[in-house]
Amino acid sequence: MSGILEGKRVLITGVLMESSIAFHAAKLAQEQGAEIILTAFPRPTLTERIAKKLPKPTKVIELDVSNDEHLARLADLVAEELGGLDGVVHSIGFAPQDALGGNFLNTPFESVATAMHVSAFSLKSLTMACLPLMQNGGSVVGLTFDAQYAWPQYDWMGPAKAALEATSRYMARDLGKQNIRCNLISAGPIGSMAAKSIPGFSDLAAVWDSRSPLEWDLKDPEPAGRGIVALLSDWFPKTTGEIIHVDGGLHAIGA
């Protein structure tokens, strides 16, 4: 029996460690029949080492989503490898240290602008860079952390994720006529490299210990990876502009 991504070609960003949600999305995508290509920044060599743990070899392209030259060359580099694309996974987020960890009221705009550019605007710029390769439609899937709430220590990454969620909805509106779906997975906290960059991450993660209806494991990125693969597949043909929660159900619980 073939996998749900059989014949699909997918670009995946954000594979930094084996504990990354993006790594598990890449692994599951290959297991489900997809051909994939990875992008990485600022250390492509790190991603190349991690990529060796995937079921099949895959090419890694250096891509800084805030660099217009990198974006301009992306389609040609991907086309050389895969010919075209059926899916894009946006697993990119960054905020300077002074935009995190309880410094919300004192963060300078320059740091806020960086967080917004890399974490939110890049969903649009990455998708537009890949658009020439998606002639037959496709699926764009991003990763958010529920922006309905103000989380401990998360500070300006919260508004950046809110901007990401709004960007996804507007992209769904404008790309639907090209049969391109744009959705997000809202994942619970995972002990990834990104999490380690957030001061006081343990305070944020502790919320899941007391409020999540389903037991949540900080060391298990696979559920979120499965959600990404499902949205990349043809099993959600008319779903766009959606946010699917893979968070143990915490989003539904008031207290």
Nearest to 22 by CA among 155, 185, 171: 185
C-alpha dihedral, 109 to 110 to 116 to 117, nearest 10°: 150
Tell me the C-alpha distance between 100 and 158, whole Å.
10
Backbone CA torsion sign across 45, 164, 169, 69? negative
Among candidate residues 161, 170, 196, 238, the one labeled active-site is 161
To the query of whether residue 154 is one of the catalytic residues in this protein, the response is yes
Nearest to 120 by CA among 98, 86, 92, 83: 92
Among candidate residues 53, 154, 170, 177, the one labeled active-site is 154
Q: What is the largest CA-CA distance in the chain?
A: 56
To the query of whether residue 161 is one of the catalytic residues in this protein, the response is yes
Q: Give burial (CB, 10 Å; 0-12/13-18/19+) of 151.
A: middle
Q: What type of residue sits at position 64?
A: D
Q: Which residues contact 192 (CB under 8 A, 6 or more apart)?
A: 16, 17, 19, 20, 21, 221
Known catalytic residues are: 154, 161
